[in-house]
Chains A and B, each alone.
Chain A
């Protein structure tokens, strides 16, 4: 079990930058922090072994740990204000689309003070029906419609409270009534209690409660168009509030929130004259189809008013918001690399890691680009315990590690872009401002293959740093996060750019900067598989969070709903890059073809590899078979593999040097590679379920070398780094460092 978890406030730094470390201990222990440089994050006894370098630093000390909480659950908070406080009689109305109506009490719209039990809370009650709690003078009365809401259907709901008569009318009106389903109704009741005023915030999708956040009763589902008026309206007026506010009701409006405004922000805009804008907390999903979406248009930019819904989840989380335990300012002399505050205490060890890039004009010739967006995508995945069919997919038993048990015990740490929210909808935002407990050295992943090192993403990428160190190459470590923020300028100084093992998620800005390097004479070594697959977006204001829409096609852990294909963060259509007109094959020669997670295989050389222009790749390599060994599944071609194809965009000058073979039948073609369902989609039968090793030259003396396999890097250290995978990698890197043009002789 984990006893220490932490995260840094920033993931990349340069000399002079300061990083703050947020740490939580499960109990009040003293822990030791030391600055280390991570070289090899693999503790497999059959490999080179775990390697880190301990460094002197003023952060090296003992610290008193304490428990820090993560407050999951999204909501909108409108600060208390005179017009809200002054409410005596009122009407509250909204459209809702509940996803877990039978979960138990869930708050829709509340202005509730828990200490005095005063105010109102429009809720879904324990029976799944709309209800309202009215509190005052220490007493609470509830009125329920008494008709359970149906799952994922739109309702207009609300309540009108008349203080003078002491009556409340609540209504739950299905937007599409169904015969024999009693899911609507109106109830009017005289109350014994008179609503008391309070100074609490107005909340959508939560209300005050006993959770450590001070809130509770988080709602799962959509809310669209909440409105509050200053008197009790009849049904006719409530219905009239749909659409444009009628002139006769204009002066009654206290607040009218339109979630289709500023969808890329964390502001809930109030269109009323009171301007009671709310703060959106914990990133519920925005740019969601509203009650009035017609289906005639798919792009919210054309008519945002049809996308007025926010989908709230009781397990949404953005920034854990912990207090920092200590900070580290990167000294000028610290060389570029992967560093961590190594925390030890209570029998546990945690690495809160970050990268250090070089000081200006101190760049090496080689840059390793760590795919942070992809780490975020897989961060805190729950694939082994509740993520669906991992065992079936992998054809091996799931191996559960302590960090996965910890995640299961701590739902509030949130999931990955591969997981579902508690209501079954896909998680489309992922943040690094929380401990991503699987993106750590030594920690194994469900998708890391059978036996061996079983590493995935961050830890697997340290096979590359380990090899670069073993071969005495001087290199810098950069991140795609910084590439997104600062663009091509950070790549420009380098001769060679090496990717991680699985750079799957790319923002448009990252892609453009990477492509600029490729076009302007840069040389690229793509030492991974399934790269440039999904488009993502970074938030324009809030750091450390990415958005994904899993739209049509692709290997998908969940599907984006119709009408919800456009990213709220940057207004662009999301989905597979290949379906957005930018196939990875055109960028690096290969693209995702098949996946399997049992055993890896090997490559066989192809005729192109004997051409004079490819000779440099295979110097001192006598073998036909490449990489029939390795720490990831036992071979250099495995997990997720990419193929070339002129029809998919592989440049016509590409040399196909080798292709993998003998994959098991758990390696199945990716869905975008076939149209009709048909047998024979496994690698034992399908010619395209393979990895291709590709080399091609680019204008301005640039070049690309791609291996198209996640497990390649796991073979580099075999036999004391003396093997054909290592030799090929070294040959290419040395040649790419040599600026002379590529010729056939």
Chain B
């Protein structure tokens, strides 16, 4: 596994990329958004967010990995019926964990 990114997310400078992600979480991304996602998605396995299939193709539960083979993941009390919604929610959580701030989108960028 590659080492974690050393890029430090700046909640002001990088806000535009968060807005971009909220519009389309999956697929083509600008280089600026890619750089943020390398931070988020490259987090170590310990406590890494994952989705657990509850009902195939329909329902998923948020969980965090133990990071150690043989040790169970930890399920959180958050469920999704849409994978893109899950992506957005996890992005928000990681944004807060990385910057210490809630991700607040400008009103016109709300989706």
A interface residues with partner B (beta carbon < 8 Å)? 43-46, 382, 384-386, 388-389, 391-392, 395-402, 405, 408-409, 411, 422, 442, 444, 450-451, 598-599, 664-665, 684
Output the nearest chain B residue to A683 by Cβ-Cβ distance. B28
B73 touching A397 by the CB < 8 A rule? no
Output the nearest chain B residue to A450 by Cβ-Cβ distance. B26
B2 touching A397 by the CB < 8 A rule? no
Q: Which of B6-14, B38-46, B102-110 contacts A (4 or more CB under 8 A)?
A: B38-46
**Shortest Cβ distance from residue A41 to the other chain B in the assembled complex, whole angstroms:** 12
What is the interface size of chain B, counting residues whose CB is below 8 A from a CB of the partner? 34
Q: Count A-B contacts at CB 8 Å.
A: 94
Contact of A444 (CB < 8 Å), options: B42, B49, B53, B72: B53
B15 interface residue per 8 A CB criterion: no
Q: Beyond A398-B50, A408-B70, A664-B27, is A442–B86 a contact (Cβ under 8 Å)? A: no
B73 touching A385 by the CB < 8 A rule? yes
Output the nearest chain B residue to A443 by Cβ-Cβ distance. B56
B69 touching A411 by the CB < 8 A rule? yes
Contact of B73 (CB < 8 Å), options: A382, A388, A405: A405
**Shortest Cβ distance from residue B1 to the other chain A in the assembled complex, whole angstroms:** 4
**Shortest Cβ distance from residue B37 to the other chain A in the assembled complex, whole angstroms:** 6
Bound-complex Cα distance A367 to B34 (A): 43
A/B interface sample: 30 pairs, CB < 8 A: A44-B57, A382-B69, A385-B69, A389-B1, A391-B48, A392-B1, A392-B38, A392-B41, A392-B42, A395-B26, A395-B37, A395-B41, A396-B83, A396-B87, A397-B87, A398-B51, A399-B50, A399-B51, A399-B52, A399-B53, A399-B60, A400-B50, A400-B51, A400-B53, A400-B63, A409-B70, A442-B56, A450-B83, A664-B29, A684-B28
Bound-complex Cα distance A392 to B41 (A): 5
B69 touching A665 by the CB < 8 A rule? no
A664 touching B73 by the CB < 8 A rule? no
A396 touching B26 by the CB < 8 A rule? yes
B1 touching A43 by the CB < 8 A rule? no
Which residues of chain B come closer than 8 Å to A386, judged between CB atoms? 45, 65, 67-69
Given A46-B57, A422-B69, A598-B26, 9 more contacts at CB 8 Å? Answer: A385-B65, A386-B69, A395-B37, A400-B51, A401-B53, A401-B56, A408-B69, A408-B73, A665-B28
**Shortest Cβ distance from residue A670 to the other chain B in the assembled complex, whole angstroms:** 16
Output the nearest chain B residue to A399 by Cβ-Cβ distance. B51
B65 touching A664 by the CB < 8 A rule? no
Output the nearest chain B residue to A44 by Cβ-Cβ distance. B57
Which residues of chain A come closer than 8 Å to B87, judged between CB atoms? 396-397
A402 touching B51 by the CB < 8 A rule? no
A599 touching B26 by the CB < 8 A rule? yes
Which residues of chain B come closer than 8 Å to A409, judged between CB atoms? 70, 72
Output the nearest chain B residue to A315 by Cβ-Cβ distance. B69
A400 touching B73 by the CB < 8 A rule? yes
**Shortest Cβ distance from residue B58 to the other chain A in the assembled complex, whole angstroms:** 8
**Shortest Cβ distance from residue B56 to the other chain A in the assembled complex, whole angstroms:** 6
Bound-complex Cα distance A398 to B48 (A): 10
Prevailing SS type, chain B contact patch? loop
Bound-complex Cα distance A402 to B50 (A): 13
Contact of B1 (CB < 8 Å), options: A388, A405, A411: A388
B57 touching A43 by the CB < 8 A rule? yes
Which residues of chain A come closer than 8 Å to B16, judged between CB atoms? none
B1 touching A397 by the CB < 8 A rule? no
Bound-complex Cα distance A401 to B56 (A): 9
**Shortest Cβ distance from residue A332 to the other chain B in the assembled complex, whole angstroms:** 38
Which residues of chain B come closer than 8 Å to A385, judged between CB atoms? 45, 50, 65, 69, 73
B90 interface residue per 8 A CB criterion: yes
**Shortest Cβ distance from residue B73 to the other chain A in the assembled complex, whole angstroms:** 7
Bound-complex Cα distance A450 to B82 (A): 12
Which residues of chain A come closer than 8 Å to B2, judged between CB atoms? 389, 392
Q: Beyond A384-B50, A396-B87, is A664–B41 a contact (Cβ under 8 Å)? A: no
B28 touching A451 by the CB < 8 A rule? no
**Shortest Cβ distance from residue B45 to the other chain A in the assembled complex, whole angstroms:** 6
B69 touching A402 by the CB < 8 A rule? no
Which residues of chain B come closer than 8 Å to A391, judged between CB atoms? 41-42, 48, 50
Which residues of chain A come closer than 8 Å to B68, judged between CB atoms? 386
Which interface residue of A389, A599, A684 has the most chain B CB atoms within 10 A?
A389
Bound-complex Cα distance A386 to B68 (A): 7
**Shortest Cβ distance from residue A351 to the other chain B in the assembled complex, whole angstroms:** 15
Which residues of chain A come closer than 8 Å to B52, judged between CB atoms? 399-401, 405
Which residues of chain B come closer than 8 Å to A665, judged between CB atoms? 28-29, 34
**Shortest Cβ distance from residue B110 to the other chain A in the assembled complex, whole angstroms:** 22
**Shortest Cβ distance from residue B18 to the other chain A in the assembled complex, whole angstroms:** 16
Output the nearest chain A residue to B67 by Cβ-Cβ distance. A386
Which residues of chain A come closer than 8 Å to B50, judged between CB atoms? 384-385, 391, 397-400
Q: Beyond A385-B65, A397-B86, A665-B29, is A402–B53 a contact (Cβ under 8 Å)? A: yes
Bound-complex Cα distance A315 to B11 (A): 45
Which residues of chain A come closer than 8 Å to B41, judged between CB atoms? 391-392, 395
Output the nearest chain A residue to B61 by Cβ-Cβ distance. A400
**Shortest Cβ distance from residue B66 to the other chain A in the assembled complex, whole angstroms:** 8
Bound-complex Cα distance A684 to B34 (A): 13
B51 touching A397 by the CB < 8 A rule? yes
**Shortest Cβ distance from residue B22 to the other chain A in the assembled complex, whole angstroms:** 15
**Shortest Cβ distance from residue A693 to the other chain B in the assembled complex, whole angstroms:** 23
**Shortest Cβ distance from residue A441 to the other chain B in the assembled complex, whole angstroms:** 12
Which interface residue of B27, B42, B51, B87 has the most chain A CB atoms within 10 A?
B27
Bound-complex Cα distance A408 to B72 (A): 7
Which residues of chain A come closer than 8 Å to B42, judged between CB atoms? 389, 391-392
Which residues of chain A come closer than 8 Å to B51, judged between CB atoms? 397-400
Which residues of chain B come closer than 8 Å to A392, judged between CB atoms? 1-2, 38, 41-42
